């Protein structure tokens, strides 16, 4: 399969090349009439012919690249191109090839006029007629307008490609583009018909002098500039986020594509039982009873001293980076009291990957207000799951997580596994890039960690990627098993070695092995052997050199299959399709590259509406140039297929799925945890610039607000 980024880059590059190649003949063809009759005009026509032909070849190349995208990645990767962009080029290209190209060829091969020194009246009249014929041909709107319309179509197609790539999802913009093309072509036809009448005669042409043409060009440029500035101001103004709004007030409500039987059932149920409304604050954990575990986390500023000698101004829980590891047993009632000592923007705690009751989810403006300095907030819930999770602030998370407001959260099984007599090492490893120039750290260390481990010890390393980008990790020195993904145990995991582990931003892998008699080293694949964790029988030794090119571990075919609660053949109650693109535009008044969902950014992204108990399917399509680790709060998704190929190994349950460029995933879950849940890219900078949507259960409301005039900025 071709590399998506390379193929899509070539495809987009062809739009720019075509725009340039059509612009040159579009400007040159209208000046042919002013060239001297004979060889000079024919020569200019030949150059215009060649440039126009080259532009038509590039347009054919666009169709070729579109076909390759279709063959390699499917219909959804070319839908907007085929229905939106390419027709704007196709129609003018066909007319240009059939009408303009033959006329240019005739003009370029026409024999020059030879005027005799002594001309009789009849011969002079014949020369004037031939000169008129040349100029009529050179000024013909049938030759000029298709070429200029092709240039206009190329401009519109390139604009839509880079400004509005999901054009078929916004049909009003497509209609505007076609309106501009048709109106522009009509205006050009009228203009060039008048020019043909004016200049299509024999004799000396009286072309406007240079100063007049300069003033005309300046006027057109100023007019275009004024229109562009006005449009940019309007776009900037419309991009400003509301000063205050509810997270439930998305402008786009998506109910999913329901099957006919599901529609009938939903309508019948709706008529029989009116929807009961409930506030997210009522969807809480147990508010009474003595907790089994209590923790107190104080959010505060602190200076972090790293082993390398770097000192970083950080945001911390309890003055630590990462925050203290919270370790509990499955089934225990946990109580965590969050205090904010001195972080003026406010803080929260989100339990990443844990399906807590909605009120305990820790999202500012959705499930609670941000905790300001001097305030406290209490979280209470029963740990129903076991596995590896982590916690972090969900207030200005792109900044606060970057600065250190995060920590590991481990829930051990209620019933211990393995031999109780065997020695064990259960260690969490938090991969994170700390802001302030600190770089990549592992458990807050930016050097080589060494630990003594007795051979034969059963080792479980809980790998947590708390960074906003995928982490590629290598484990050298032993074979191992990937025992769990995102807190979900793998059924009968295979023993593997010499594979790179790709962790999504926010994702977790548990790897297990029996400690050998030699050293074991784990580190980021691109790091040197001076960074990472070295386990050895005596706690010393040198880390091995990492392999640069190892195959990437594939969870889609790992482990043994089990009976699934639903699969690709299941009839789903809701079916959501989510297309990820990148486009140039404004977000909250700032011009930037926007990472969009179905062509929109928050709060215009889809609000996915569901009812409790429904089966929900989602399809992720990444047509952009970066990974998007999609994190659904409050639920775990079963991965059904990747790039159209069903998963075959152990059931792959995840809460943070890395969707790489050119990848398409189908996932499903049961809507069994009522509330208002974020579903966003866990590249937190993408989320902060609008790559956020929500899953809302019918009847659920939130009393909290987000916006500049509130205390809540969840991203």
DSSP line for 427-471? EEEEEEEETTTTEEEETTBSSEEEEE--TT-EEEEEEEE-SSS-E
Predicted pLDDT at 270: 45
β-strands 387-392, 350-352: how paired? antiparallel
Is 105 among the domain residues? yes
Ordered mean pLDDT values, 10 residues apiece, the chain (715 residues): 85 93 92 84 92 94 93 92 92 95 90 52 56 85 95 94 86 91 95 85 64 79 86 88 87 67 41 74 95 97 93 96 97 97 97 97 97 98 96 97 97 81 90 90 92 95 97 94 97 95 97 95 80 91 83 96 95 96 91 92 93 97 96 98 96 97 97 97 95 95 93 88
C-beta separation of 148 from 30 below 8 A: yes
What gap in Å lies between CA 375 and CA 231, rounded to an integer? 44
- pLDDT for the residue numbered 170: 83
- Torsion region of 397: left, alpha or beta (phi above 0 gives left; psi -120 to 50 gives alpha): alpha
How many angstroms separate the CA atoms of 547 and 545, rounded? Answer: 7
Q: For residues 241 and 589, is the Cβ–Cβ distance under 8 A?
A: no
Q: How far apart are CA 352 and CA 633, in angstroms?
A: 8
Q: Would you say 157 and 15 are in contact if contact means Cβ atoms under 8 Å apart?
A: yes
The total of structural domains in the chain comes to 1
Whole-number pLDDT of residue 318? 97
Please check whether residue 128 lies inside any domain of the structure: yes
Tokens standing for residue 452: 């003594």
Give the helix/strand (H/E) hosting 620: strand 615-622
Q: Is residue 341 part of a domain?
A: no
Q: What are phi and psi of 181, to 5 degrees?
A: -65, -45
Give the Cα separation of 5 and 11 in Å (integer).
Answer: 10
Instruction: Tell me the pLDDT tens digit for each residue of 383-393.
Output: 999 999 999 99
Judging by DSSP bridges, how do beta strands 700-701 and 278-279 pair with one another?
A: parallel
SS3 assignment, position 86: helix
What pLDDT, on a 0 to 100 scale, did the predictor assign at position 276?
A: 84
Write the burial class of residue 489 (CB in 10 Å: 0-12 exposed, 13-18 middle, 19+ buried).
middle
Q: Which of 691, 469, 451 is nearest to 581 (CA)?
A: 691
Report DSSP state, residue 140.
Answer: -
The 3-state secondary structure of 364-428, one letter per residue: ECCCECCECCCCEEEEEEECCCCEEEEEECCCCHHHHCCCCCEEEEEEECCCCCCCCCCCEEEEE
What 3-state class would DSSP assign to 627?
Answer: coil
- What count of other Cβ atoms lies within 10 Å of the Cβ of residue 264? 11
Residue 213, in any domain of the structure = no
% helix, strand, coil for the chain, step of 5: 30, 30, 40
- Does residue 41 fall inside a structural domain? yes
Determine the pLDDT at residue 193: 92
Tally Cβ neighbours within 10 Å of residue 509: 24
Q: Which residues have a Cβ under 8 Å from the Cβ of 684 and sit 6 or more positions away? A: 397, 398, 401, 402, 468, 505, 715
Q: How many whole angstroms separate alpha carbon 443 and alpha carbon 432?
A: 8
The answer as to whether 428 is a domain residue is no
Q: Is 309 helix (H, G, I), strand (E, B) or coil?
A: coil
What per-residue confidence (pLDDT) applies to 259? Answer: 43
| Residue tagged 């998963």 (tokens) | 647
Q: How many CB atoms lie within 10 A of CB 219?
A: 10
Please give the radius of gyration of the chain, using alpha carbons only, rounded to the nearest integer.
32
Residue 26 domain flag: yes
| Structural domain includes residue 114 | yes
Domain that holds residue 30: 4-203
Q: The dihedral of CA 152, 158, 164, 166: what is its sign?
A: positive
Let me know: does 396 contact 428? Beta carbons within 8 Å. Answer: no
Check residue 6 and report its DSSP letter.
H
Identify the three-state secondary structure at position 97.
helix
User: Is pTM, for the whole model, over 0.75?
Assistant: yes
């Amino acid at each position: 399969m071709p590399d998506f980024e390379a193929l899509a880059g070539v495809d987009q590059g062809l739009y720019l090349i075509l725009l340039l190649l059509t612009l040159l003949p579009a400007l040159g063809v209208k000046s042919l009439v002013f060239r001297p009759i004979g060889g000079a005009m024919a020569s200019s026509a030949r150059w215009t012919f060649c440039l126009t032909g080259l532009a038509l070849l590039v347009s054919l190349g666009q169709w070729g690249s579109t076909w390759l995208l279709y063959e390699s990645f499917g219909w959804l990767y070319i839908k907007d191109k085929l229905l939106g962009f390419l027709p704007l080029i196709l129609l003018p290209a066909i007319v240009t090839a059939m009408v303009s190209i033959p006329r240019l060829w005739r003009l370029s091969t026409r024999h020059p006029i030879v005027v005799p020194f002594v001309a009789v009246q009849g011969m002079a009249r014949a020369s004037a007629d031939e000169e008129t014929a040349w100029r009529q041909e050179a000024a013909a709107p049938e030759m000029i307008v298709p070429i200029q319309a092709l240039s206009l179509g190329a401009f519109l197609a390139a604009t839509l490609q880079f400004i509005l790539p999901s054009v078929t999802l916004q049909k009003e913009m497509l209609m505007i583009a076609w309106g501009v093309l048709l109106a522009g072509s009509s205006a050009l036809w009228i203009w060039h018909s008048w020019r043909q009448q004016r200049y299509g005669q024999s004799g000396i042409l009286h072309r406007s002098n240079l100063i007049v043409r300069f003033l005309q060009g300046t006027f057109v440029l100023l007019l275009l500039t004024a229109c562009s500035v006005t449009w940019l101001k309007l776009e900037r103004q419309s991009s400003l986020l509301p000063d205050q709004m509810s997270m439930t007030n998305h402008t786009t409500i998506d109910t999913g594509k329901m099957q006919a039987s599901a529609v009938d059932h939903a309508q019948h149920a709706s008529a029989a039982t009116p929807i009961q409304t409930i506030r997210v604050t009522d969807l809480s954990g147990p508010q009474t009873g003595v907790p089994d575990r209590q923790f107190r986390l104080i959010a505060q500023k602190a200076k972090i001293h790293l082993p390398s000698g770097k000192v970083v101004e950080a945001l911390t829980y309890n003055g630590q980076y990462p925050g203290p590891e919270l370790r509990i047993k499955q089934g225990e009632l946990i109580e965590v009291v969050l205090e904010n000592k001195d972080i003026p923007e406010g803080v929260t705690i989100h339990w990443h990957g844990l399906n807590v009751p909605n009120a305990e989810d820790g999202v500012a403006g959705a499930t609670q207000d941000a905790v300001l300095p001097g305030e406290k907030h209490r979280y209470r819930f029963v740990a129903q799951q076991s596995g590896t999770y982590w916690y972090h602030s969900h207030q200005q998370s792109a900044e606060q997580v970057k600065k250190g407001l995060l920590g590991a959260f481990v829930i051990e099984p209620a019933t211990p596994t393995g031999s109780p007599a065997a020695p064990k090492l259960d260690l969490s490893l938090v991969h994170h890039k700390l802001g302030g120039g600190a770089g990549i750290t592992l458990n807050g260390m930016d050097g080589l960690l060494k630990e003594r481990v007795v051979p034969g010890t059963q080792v479980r390393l809980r790998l947590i990627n708390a960074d906003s980008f995928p982490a590629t990790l290598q484990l050298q020195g032993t074979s191992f098993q990937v025992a769990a993904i995102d807190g979900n145990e793998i059924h009968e995991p295979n023993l593997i070695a010499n594979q790179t582990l790709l962790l999504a931003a926010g994702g977790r892998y548990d790897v297990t092995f029996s400690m050998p008699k030699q050293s074991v080293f784990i580190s980021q694949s691109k790091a040197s052997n001076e960074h990472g964790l070295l386990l050895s029988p005596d706690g010393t030794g040198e880390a091995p050199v990492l392999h640069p090119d190892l195959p990437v571990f594939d969870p889609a075919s790992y482990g043994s299959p089990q009976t699934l609660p639903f699969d690709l053949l299941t009839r789903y109650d809701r079916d959501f399709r989510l297309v990820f693109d990148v486009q140039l535009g404004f977000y909250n008044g700032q011009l930037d590259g926007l990472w969009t969902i179905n062509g929109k950014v928050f709060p215009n992204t889809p609000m996915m509406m569901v009812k409790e108990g429904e089966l929900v399917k989602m399809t992720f399509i990444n047509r952009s140039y970066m990974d998007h680790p999609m994190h659904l709060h409050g639920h775990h998704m079963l991965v059904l297929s990747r790039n159209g190929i069903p998963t075959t190994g152990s059931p792959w349950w995840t809460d943070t799925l890395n969707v790489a460029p050119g990848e398409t995933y189908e996932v499903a879950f049961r809507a069994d945890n009522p509330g208002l849940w974020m579903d966003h890219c866990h590249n937190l900078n993408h989320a902060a610039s609008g790559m956020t949507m929500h899953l809302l259960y019918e009847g659920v409301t939130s009393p909290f607000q987000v916006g500049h005039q509130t205390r809540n900025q969840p991203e």
